[in-house]
Structure 1
Amino acid sequence: MLKPVDDGPAIVACNTCRHSKDARENGDGQRGGAQLVEQLRQVQASHPRYAGIAVQEMACLFACADFCTVHLRAPGRVGYVLGRFDPDEQAATAILDYAVHYAASEHGRVPFGQWPQGVKGHFITRTPPPGFVAE
């Protein structure tokens, strides 16, 4: 049931997420999560600043009410689940831009002034890394 992946900074995107609150798929029958994964990979490939952030995917993050969700994680850092994104290039760019700041942070806390506009209002939960809780 578990598949090994690199343990560095990563965006784990739900590839089965709904397209939107009201639709499971787009007009072509593609789920929003699969579309977001495609956009994340395209944006990541477009600029070397994103090279240190892995784009990983898995089925169902169990955040179905919040469609197009991603889990941002890195060793020794607080993790975050974000959702309610449109599965487009703009959202993928905002997620990757935030992930760059996140990966450079000491404990996963990015100062609010560095947050891209496109991630504001999209945070669902934060998760402590194994062996820690956040203060």
Structure 2
Amino acid sequence: MTVLHVCTTCRGTEEVPEGGLRPGARLHAALADGPAPAGVTVVPVECLSACNSGCAVALSAPGRWSYVYGRMTPEDAPEILRGAAAYAATADGLVPWRERPVIFRKQSLARIPPIPQEA
């Protein structure tokens, strides 16, 4: 199972009025609005600690590399889901460079190695 974590507390570069919907929450709504790719679950989280990088998402799955991406917008939802589908189709989380959406190639904040499996 692949999890696409979406920071719902991200403010991006916008000033959000008291009680207003934050850009991260709008991004989550855009991603959760349609069907997720096969094997991908979209999960809201309160913070990915990428506050200086706009709206952030993260991809993870057991035994695979994890990724954090920033500067995302609700308009990026189709490309984010396309990238999540490509990630879900791998055994190790390593999507070939040219097969990644451009926003994943250019807006990667972190790549985290998988936790070693115990024998």
Q: TM-score range by the shorter chain?
A: 0.7 to 0.9
Out of 71, 85, 92, the residue aligned to residue 100 of structure 1 is 85
Root mean square deviation, CA, Å:
1.9
Q: How far, CA to CA, are the matches of 2:102 and 2:21 in structure 1?
A: 26
Q: Which amino acid in the other structure matches residue 90 of structure 2? A: S
**Residues 1-135 of structure 1 aligned to structure 2 (within 5 Å):** 8-18=1-11, 20-21=12-13, 23-25=14-16, 29-43=20-34, 45=35, 50-88=37-75, 91-131=76-116
The answer on whether the counterparts of 1:24 and 1:32 sit within 8 Å (CA) in structure 2 is: no
Runs (5+) with no aligned partner, structure 1: 1-7
Q: TM-score w.r.t. structure 2 length?
A: 0.88
Tell me how far apart the structure 1 counterparts of residues 15 and 72 of structure 2 sit (CA, whole Å): 14
Q: Which segments of 5 or more consecutive residues in structure 2 lack a partner in the other structure?
A: none
SS in 1 for 2:59: strand
Deviation at 1:56, TM superposition (A): 0.2
Q: Does the 8 Å contact 2:38/2:85 carry over to 1?
A: no
Give the SS at the match of 2:55.
coil
Aligned residue for 2:25, secondary structure, equals helix
Amino acid at match of 1:103: A
The answer for the alignment partner of 1:5 in structure 2 is: none
Higher strand share: 2
TM-score after normalising by structure 1: 0.78
